[in-house]
Chain A
């Protein structure tokens, strides 16, 4: 079974630009979550989508948004990029259910975003 895929793997953008990252979950997984990882803040939860609806959101500004399509694929968008947005952006998928922690999450390799 193919794992979680993320595109692109690497990206360089300029301050003020916007960026869209893509995530394809494991087949059959309906939940997709996004995380940001930086050396200073560690791994931080951005948001989670289930059946095209955002179920949970972390403490990030409105510049960070996402969506999920009917095939469970998800995109994350960051507008008006700032230098501090440079990070590894990770996507994870899971079967999900009532007790999310009883289902392991499968992470993709991430997208390394550099903002200059």
Chain B
């Protein structure tokens, strides 16, 4: 399974766009990139998943460059409720999710 590296923490203010980058240099051809969000004392929640280029849903966008060795989760106009830990996961044909340390995002008013 590809190892992922992401910043331990990030700070932002309400209304700003937040970009969290994840490095996955040894990503395999068939690997998908998935992001989860977790609030304290709750289970992680799926945010977005992609394979290449750009994926957008009602919550976030995921940018994946052509070499796929990194990906960027973009959260537009964050609010206080976006304060959470964000996990980047990479894998395929696996029946288990391997979580890294995640990025702790703190949004200030």
Contacts and interface: CB of A to CB of B under 8 A. Distances in A.
Interface of A: 4, 31, 33, 35, 42-45, 48, 50, 55-56, 58, 88, 90-92, 96, 98-102, 104-110, 112
A100 B87 CA distance: 17
A101 B94 contact: yes
Contacts of A105: 46, 97
Given A33-B97, A45-B96, A56-B96, A104 B91 contact: no
B43 interface: yes
Interface string B74-96: 00000000000001010111111
A101 B43 contact: no
A83 B41 CA distance: 19
Contacts of A99: 30, 32, 92-93
Contacts of B32: 99, 101-102
Interface residues of B, number: 25
5 contacts: A45-B96, A90-B43, A101-B93, A105-B46, A110-B42
Across the A-B interface, the 3 shortest Cβ-Cβ residue pairs:
A107-B43, A104-B46, A43-B99
A107 B96 contact: no
A91 B30 CA distance: 26
Contacts of B41: 88, 110, 112
A45 B87 CA distance: 14
A42 B4 CA distance: 14
A31 B99 CA distance: 18
Contact of B93 (A92, A100, A104, A109): A100
B54 interface: no
A94 B39 CA distance: 20
A79 to B, nearest CB: 22
B64 to A, nearest CB: 14
